[in-house]
A and B are shown apart, each in its own frame.
Chain A
């Protein structure tokens, strides 16, 4: 037989490619893959980095403990560019990989809304951090939430202000965007339920340069406590400074942005002695403390909810697959929903039939710039 130049070339190519193809084919079944949409670029790139770190730390722990169904777990990350079209594209890329068994979506409700139709179409479990209550109440059985939804934050603010601080005359201040309006409504409804209808319900437009009229309205209302839902930290910073400058020193319990690192930096002493609801508080439980230590040691920055929810999401997903003994989506779903009293960094997970894992918030206090855990308020409904 005569070996032609073409035969020789084909042989060389086949010889070079064969080991790679065989390794690749072997590898396909060698790991359990989890897909993650994260903002690697765009305005939230910084927090996206924390989210990825949180997920990776959980993955390391899972693998150290024996992996998922006896195999090592692997994280496949796609950049969502911090935009809605970006996350739709990222999710479609991940969804095209049939061996991915579960996914991590976004902490931003708007992005989860954008990807939700594709999630429904794919029919595989997606862990989310977005807090819009509707996300788990719109008939999409594949979304599982790893942060308490916004309906709880309003109730916790009201509960804490009325029953712990003993204040009855409330001024409610909120942004007029979707988040602020929903939060303000939830807080007002919770206060009315407690018999303390607000004496002032005040909305404001985002990116306001001046809050003097708002502060003067609070002053004139005679309110003895303030509850707030701010969307942007710069608005919160401007308001906090003007509130104190104009001599209003009533107790203030705010939504999570009040304890956000950027808000603390911008407002400084104007936020001292205020209270906030926080889904992650390092001292709230042993599991939270353990995550905090692990994260600090590995990443060298303070842990927050950006990293804690992906940590919990990977941990719970791995536990659910192990419990289900299968990577079949319906069985994983059942296993997640059956998870009760699971200690996570964000709190104790008790999944309800809607896919909400957490049902309460922590109250933290700004003690001269340090955020300290005060108490946890949990609801059973």
Chain B
């Protein structure tokens, strides 16, 4: 039982990371019908910004955190203007290829500046974790889970209860109709990119003390997050969260009870199973309606 509880905690912790990145995928997909393959690099860039300010310059953690998120918002603007906006009238394929290009550019730019060696970023808390009976709770994972829960609540409130959220939803559902209603579609898409970049950055900053800061940290997480969005139902916020958590738990238990080297295989086995038997994902109805 102790083993199960320990694995469950770790699985939820790592799943929450996937969920955070998956949220960014979903928001951009809903707004633009495009998968942003640079979402993982958003996480990586934010983690490196934290290294620049909190480690290299020694600035307070909270200030570095705010600057890093501000930087990510700016990156969201640049990304929208430089990658999405010029291709907005084209089919989804050129845009997707542009996001892959942007992802390569971002990772190689950071590589050129920082080199290939991973960097250390301290967590928010002095205490690395707490022992709760037989289960060790890593404080950073606790924070990641708490932030994920908070974001679920925030997203619900923002998209369902605020005018801006409703405008964003309207834009994602039908751009032409939203435009006819006086909503500035390009502004809404800009806001979506900013929010997604900040979300991706938040995931990167939160996970950096656990996985270290490295060039490939974003792509590793993004691959799983992408699988999580498909499992949850592409385009669904709740689906991204549930998909991410499910993936984290499945791969952790699969590694413990079946095979460690094939840990990544379990995640993608589940993905393949969903693609065959339930391609619309767990919460797939909305995508079907949209199509």
Contacts and interface: CB of A to CB of B under 8 A. Distances in A.
B256 A213 contact: yes
A246 B214 contact: no
A208 B263 contact: yes
Interface residues of A, number: 31
B220 A43 contact: no
A247 B3 CA distance: 13
Given A203-B261, A216-B3, A246-B6, A209 B211 contact: yes
Nearest to A176: B261
A213 B138 contact: no
B264 A205 contact: yes
Interface residues of B, number: 31
Interface in B90-135: 111, 115-118, 120, 128-129
Contacts of B256: 212-213, 216-217
B169 to A, nearest CB: 33
Contacts of B252: 210, 212-213
B14 A202 contact: no
A246 to B, nearest CB: 6
Contacts of A265: 120
Interface stretch (A26-34, A231-239, A303-311): A231-239
A212 B10 contact: yes
Interface string B210-222: 1110101000110
Contact of B212 (A213, A216, A238): A238
Interface string A177-215: 000000000000000000000000011110111101110
Given A204-B261, A207-B216, A262 B128 contact: no
A118 interface: no
Given A245-B129, A266-B118, A209 B220 contact: yes
Nearest to A42: B116
Interface string B1-17: 00100110010001001
A237 B121 CA distance: 13
Contacts of A217: 256, 260
A46 interface: yes
Contacts of B260: 202-205, 213-214, 217
Interface in A32-89: 43-46
Contacts of A241: 128
A176 B261 CA distance: 7
B255 interface: yes
B136 interface: yes
Contacts of A46: 115, 117
A46 B117 CA distance: 10
Quick one: which of A43, A45, A212, A238 has the most chain B CB within 10 A?
Answer: A212
Contacts of A44: 116
Contact of A216 (B6, B120, B216): B6
A46 B115 CA distance: 8
A266 B263 CA distance: 23
A210 B14 CA distance: 8
Nearest to B255: A213
B220 A207 contact: yes
Contact of B211 (A202, A205, A238, A245): A238
Nearest to A175: B261
Contacts of A245: 128-129, 136, 138
A46 B260 CA distance: 33
Given A209-B220, A245-B138, A43 B212 contact: no
Nearest to A43: B116
Nearest to A207: B220
A183 to B, nearest CB: 15
Quick one: which of A214, A217, A266 has the most chain B CB within 10 A?
Answer: A266
Contacts of A247: 136
Interface of B: 3, 6-7, 10, 14, 17, 111, 115-118, 120, 128-129, 136, 138, 210-212, 214, 216, 220-221, 252, 255-256, 260-264
Given A204-B260, A204-B263, A213-B260, 6 more contacts: A213-B256, A216-B6, A220-B3, A234-B212, A245-B129, A265-B120
13 contacts: A44-B116, A202-B260, A207-B220, A209-B221, A210-B14, A213-B260, A214-B260, A237-B118, A237-B212, A238-B210, A238-B211, A266-B120, A268-B120
